[in-house]
Structure 1
Amino acid sequence: MPSFKIAPFVQAPLILLIAMISMQSSGSFAKYLFGQFPILTVSAMRLLLGALILALIFKIWQISFKQVKWAAILSYGLALAGMNMLFYLAIDRLPLGIAVSFEFIGPLSVALFYARQKADFIWVGLAVVGLILLFPFHQAAEPLDPLGIILALGAGACWAVYIVAGQKPSGVSGNHTVCLGMFVAMLLVMPIALFAGMPTQVFEPGNLLYFIILAVLASVLPFSLEMIALRNITALSFGTLMSLEPAIAALSGFVFLGESLLWNQWLALATIITASIGCTLTTQRRKQRAA
């Protein structure tokens, strides 16, 4: 029988694609919960349940804690906490499309920093053009909340640190790194959420089920898959490929929510996808030539 195997250079982008789809599908759950609970409560519960689920799945008690490089874990967890908390706070003050556009300055900055060849700058440049085209200028006619912009840029900065920290050796497996990092993130966000006021009804069975679903779709699945991808892909490729996220968000809105796309947004999707594919192929060909 013929065996169907995915080529190694396709595996990491495919894993990232699944992670991004999972992350975007969690948006409807997050919006539903925003209407019932404080934003920081949603962020803290997402991290708490995500950490607990990962601890059970990956048997955190089997970790040799003497081998853990805590500097790497702490930087990863700090980035994770900031990325989640700041972005949720940003979309409370800014339209979602504008907040995402500002946030993506982070991963694109990483891609640009690691760019070395002319082709690298071409693909990163295309991704930037795509994000600009995706920017909802018709919403920008209204004054933008300066604090919201700062929060979104802060989330992007944390995302950049997350990309770099995720590639550093942590002394444990990638799955255990995600698990420990999420516990660190939860320990940072939970006190803030409690101080801001966390309603007790979050632990009611019905509400808890929603938070579990959110934790799986928004944290457990995407962060675990991203950690696997980060072990097998360059920071340049990761930063450029992640520019597919707003394209997936726009496409999901069209398919599931009936949101119509403008001509410039369709062009943006094509531009971003072209940049992502081009960056991946160029990087892999360079690796093959070096080998």
Structure 2
Amino acid sequence: MRRSSRILSTAPPEALFVVSALSQYIGAAIAVTVFDEVEPQTVAWFRVIGAAIALLAISPGFHRGWTKRDLIGAGVFGTATALMNLFFYLGIARIDLGKSVAIEFLGPIAVAAAMTRSARNGFALVLAVIGVVTLGGVEIGDNTLGVVFILISSAMWAAYIVFGSKVAQVRSGVAGLGVGLAIGSIVIAPAGAPWSGPVWVSPTLLLLCCATGVFSNAIGYGIDQYVLRRIPIRRFSVLLATLPVTAVFVGWLLLGQTPSGLDLLGIGLVLIGVAVQERDEIVAVPEPS
């Protein structure tokens, strides 16, 4: 555990983002494969539960040292994250994974825009926006409801960034994320629990649903917590532009959702935008005791 913490505290944020993104969308691809047997909102609920259990299992003493303010902050963060997961799964049940993430990225873009202070960062953000809009060029048509779900998820993603940064500074390791997700799982239980019957009687479905939480939340969001301690919210938000790119790749590789030439153009613009942004000084984070 100490070695893992050391790596997460010193590795380049871009490299950590690649690992986080791959893990998140491998989890999403697993989720899509079980949507025919389990309702998306139920898979999202198990995703949050599975992640909370995994994170708290590797956080000894997670229940100690909490103030009322800390718990409220973790609860707001966990609720925003759980709602983001819930509406994201409702969206990707209707729209391709890559396009869904591109539309969802409007939330991080709004946060990055609010934090941008220089011409170079503004240029990087514009390139990322153009790339994301290109990737997200989905025809509304019969997907109106799916787009609405993704837009709600987008707003929750913005809240995830802002509140996640605060939780990351309060607690070392991933205990804050684990406690937050435990609270979030309770909040979205009315949406996920009523259709959970098939999961409880099938070890395979239970394993797959919980695996989405381990890959997408425990690993993906756990890495985010370390990155949020080291770089400003603005840079974090722009780096998130790599996620639509990764989602397109995973959707093509695992789900057969082949990207078009326009999609590849969008990917290129996003990568250029990430590359040209200003680099802030990276702060080494002390290992948790």
Q: TM-score if structure 2 supplies the norm length? A: 0.86
CA distance in 2, matches of 1:58, 1:94: 36
SS at match of 1:261: coil
* 1:132 correspondence with 2:133: yes
CA distance in 2, matches of 1:24, 1:201: 21
Q: Which residue of 2 aligns with 1:110?
A: 111
| Correspondence for 2:218 among 217, 220, 226 | 220
Identity between Structure 1 and Structure 2 (%): 24
Contact 2:56 2:178 in 1 (8 A): yes
Cα shift readout 1:41-92 (whole Å, capped 9, x = no counterpart): 1111111111111111112555323476123212211210111011111223
Q: Using the alignment, how far apart are the partners of 1:285 and 1:217 within structure 2?
A: 29
Aligned-pair distance for 1:237?
1.1
Q: How has the CA–CA distance of structure 1 residues 215 and 116 changed in structure 2, closer, same or farther, with 3 Å as cutoff?
A: same
Q: Secondary structure at the match of 2:231?
A: coil
**Distance in structure 2 (CA, Å) of the matches to 1:256 and 1:40:** 21
Q: Hey, what does 1:81 align to over in structure 2?
A: 82
Question: What code does the residue aligned with 2:274 have?
Answer: S
- Is 1:192 the equivalent of 2:191? yes
Equivalent position of 1:232 in the other structure: 230
Aligned equivalent of 1:283: 279
Cα drift, residue 160 of structure 1: 0.4
Q: Deviation of residue 248 (structure 1)?
A: 1.2
Give the Å deviation of 1:26.
1.6
Aligned partners of 1:106 and 1:270: how far apart in 2?
21
Partner of 1:149: 147
Q: How has the CA–CA distance of structure 1 residues 233 and 200 changed in structure 2, closer, same or farther, with 3 Å as cutoff?
A: same
CA distance in 2, matches of 1:71, 1:201: 31
**What is the aligned partner in structure 1 of residue 242 from structure 2?**
244
* Structure 2 counterpart of 1:177: 176
Q: Is 1:158 equivalent to 2:156 in the alignment? A: yes
What are the equivalent positions in structure 2 for 1:15-30 lying under 5 Å apart? 15-30=16-31
Q: Distance in 1 between matches of 2:149 and 2:258?
A: 28
Which secondary structure does the structure 2 equivalent of 1:233 belong to? coil
Q: Is the 8 A contact 2:20 2:223 kept in 1?
A: yes
Between Structure 1 and Structure 2, how many residues are aligned? 277
Deviates more, 1:185-194 or 1:75-84: 185-194
Do the aligned partners of residues 230 and 25 (structure 1) sit closer, same or farther apart at CA in structure 2, a change above 3 Å counting? same
Amino acid at match of 2:33: Y
Residue 166 of structure 2 aligns with which residue? Answer: 168
- Aligned 8 A contact 2:112 2:125 in 1: yes
Aligned AA for 1:190?
A
1:208 to 206, 209, 218: 206
Q: Is the 8 A contact 2:38 2:195 kept in 1?
A: no
Q: Do 1:68 and 1:171's aligned partners in 2 also have CA atoms closer than 8 Å?
A: no
CA contact (8 A) 1:81 1:185 kept: yes
User: TM-score of the superposition, structure 1-length normalised?
Assistant: 0.85
Tell me which residue corresponds to 1:58.
59
**Structure 2: how far apart are the matches of 1:34 and 1:257?**
13
- What's the offset of the Cα at 1:206? 2.4
Please list, as runs of the form range in 1=range in 2, the aligned pairs for 1:244-263 lying within 5 A after superposition: 244-256=242-254, 259-263=257-261
Distance 2:17 2:64 in 1: 26
Paired amino acid for 1:175: V
Unaligned runs of 5+ in 2: 1-5, 284-289
Deviations 1:154-190 (A, max 9, x none): 1001000100101115642241111111101111112
Letter in 2 for 1:20: A
The equivalent of 1:37 in structure 2 is 38
1:171 and 1:242 map into 2 onto residues whose CA distance is: 22
Kindly report the root-mean-square deviation, in angstroms, between the aligned alpha carbons of the 2 structures.
2.6
Provide the rounded CA distance (Å) in 1 between the counterparts of 2:14 and 2:144.
35
- The alpha-carbon deviation at position 257 of structure 1 amounts to 5.0
Q: How big is each residue's C-alpha offset from its partner over 1:189-235, in whole Å with a ceiling of 9 and x where there is no partner?
A: 123222x4321543532222222322211111001001111111111
Show structure 1 runs of 5+ residues with no match.
none
1:119–1:45 distance in 2 versus 1, CA, 3 Å:
same
Partners of 2:146 and 2:216 in 1: CA distance = 22
The AA in structure 1 aligned to 2:88 is: F
